[in-house]
Amino acid sequence: MKVPFELNAKVKGANGSLSPIILRISAPEFEEGRGHFCTIECPFIREKEMKAFGVDENQAIELAFDLVRSLLAHKEAFIVDDDGNRIEVPWA
């Protein structure tokens, strides 16, 4: 898996606890019959890797970041810097 985006940081959960987070999003690939996709690895969100499909490479990347953002919000978690301040990752 070619990884154009990788993040090693901390995430703050709803209860205020800090946990490490590793996020990897692959370069877009193409699967016949399904289209373009990016593979997402983020054990904090889900142990099993996920795939985000799009009509083209750009949409696959955009949807991969949207999925991560949505799943973090669902867990009421957000990425923080070393001082515990919320940071916004420059999503695609």
Express each pLDDT in 70-80 by its tens digit: 999 999 999 99
Burial class (CB within 10 angstroms; exposed 0-12, middle 13-18, buried 19+) of 48: exposed
Radius of gyration of the chain (CA): 14
Tens digit of pLDDT for each residue in 2-16?
768 898 899 999 899
Predicted TM-score (pTM) of this structure: 0.87
Question: Cα-Cα-Cα-Cα dihedral of 70, 75, 80, 83, to 10°?
Answer: 160
Q: Which residue has better confidence, 83 or 11? A: 11
Find out whether 31 and 22 touch, Cβ atoms under 8 Å.
no
As a whole number of angstroms, the distance between CA 50 and CA 47 comes to: 9
